[in-house]
Structure 1
Amino acid sequence: MRRLFLLTSLVLSPLPSLAQGLVTERSISAALAAEAVAAAVESCAGRGHRVTAAVVDRSGVLKALLRADGAGPHTVSAAQAKAYTAVSMRANTSQILETVRTNPGASRLADVEGFLIVGGGLPIRVGDEVVGAIGVDGSPGGHLDDQCAEAGIARIRERLN
């Protein structure tokens, strides 16, 4: 009987880590997301590349998407997948690609549903906190998509607070 009481009280007592109540998280606004995708598309257009840019919030949900005139239809899903991958892993997709190439234990990351592990996805940070991510697709190389994504973040950086 005593064991049953002890087991019941352990199961019914709240765990310290679960008893915190509500969680407050910061996430990128729709307005800043729209500005970031516009800046990324403009940056790539200035280099002669027709791309799509997507921004997702901290949970990976799409906040803004802009497809340049003439950008390939595949760039829409690719840009969103790059942003989703960057926010999920809290890392640049170019860095994730390098990890997959050099670490056999990470080789299956490409199999995660919704992930696209090529350059062009960057987390959007406020200090150490990831509040969203941007993905760009359509340039003739992931390093060029990275540059356009960086331009998108640079446009809004001072207003991330």
Structure 2
Amino acid sequence: MNFTTAASALALSLLASTAGAQAVRTEKTMSLELANQIATATVAACATNNHNVTAAVVDRGGQLRALQRADNAGPHTIGAAQGKAYTSASARNTTGAILENVQKNPGAATLVDIPGFLVLGGGVPIRVGNDVIGAVGVGGAPGGHLDEQCANTALAQVADLLK
């Protein structure tokens, strides 16, 4: 084997090993226990303000991990909480910020047409560093901003577990 052939083979093997390393990723995910803690803390945070809500926690792919509904929360709050959690996980942003973008940006107005998206305040991504590992959605407080406050309060309570 001559030098040029050997150098070419070495370069190709290095490229292949680099490409292979990028083809498989490791992603963080939350346990069922953590999802339940977040849902429980969210419902409790809203209860301190006399808001009967449902909290849904989804994984990074928007799949339901935990759902808790306060005793007097309306039946509509289940779908609302799940929709907000799915939307937040999918867009990797709060649904309040998405709502604001839809209202101010005509180009974003069609986001409401995406199946499963619920563009109302109350969905908050769950982050570990810069990675979104899921989201919590809340439905039932008298305003999306209040739903979002409950979610943020709950996430602050489990912040040490999100490292």
Equivalent position amino acid for 1:46 in 2: T
Q: Which runs of 5+ in 2 are unaligned?
A: 1-15
What is the percentage of aligned positions where both structures have the same residue? 54
- The aligned residue for residue 117 of structure 2 is 115
- The aligned residue for residue 75 of structure 2 is 73
Q: Give the CA RMSD over aligned residues.
A: 1.5
**1:87-126, aligned counterparts within 5 Å?**
87-126=89-128
- The aligned residue for residue 58 of structure 1 is 60
Q: Using the alignment, how far apart are the partners of 1:144 and 1:17 within structure 2?
A: 46
Choose which of 139, 152, 155 in structure 1 pairs with 2:154. 152
Equivalent position amino acid for 2:120 in 1: V
Answer with 1 or 2: which has the greater Rg: 2
- The aligned residue for residue 33 of structure 1 is 35
Choose which of 130, 133, 139 in structure 1 pairs with 2:132. 130
- The aligned residue for residue 49 of structure 1 is 51
- The aligned residue for residue 9 of structure 2 is none
TM norm structure 1: 0.87
Offset of residue 156 of structure 1? 1.2
SS at match of 1:87: helix
Q: Using the alignment, how far apart are the partners of 2:130 and 2:26 within structure 1?
A: 16
Offset of residue 20 of structure 1? 3.6
TM norm structure 2: 0.86
SS at match of 1:143: helix
Q: Using the alignment, how far apart are the partners of 1:150 and 1:142 within structure 2?
A: 12
Q: Give the number of aligned pairs.
A: 147
Q: Using the alignment, how far apart are the partners of 2:19 and 2:116 within structure 1?
A: 30
Q: Using the alignment, how far apart are the partners of 2:25 and 2:133 within structure 1?
A: 14
Per-residue Cα deviation, 1:24-50 (whole angstroms, up to 9, x for no partner): 111121111100110110011110110
Q: Using the alignment, how far apart are the partners of 1:140 and 1:20 within structure 2?
A: 46
- The aligned residue for residue 87 of structure 2 is 85
SS at match of 1:60: coil
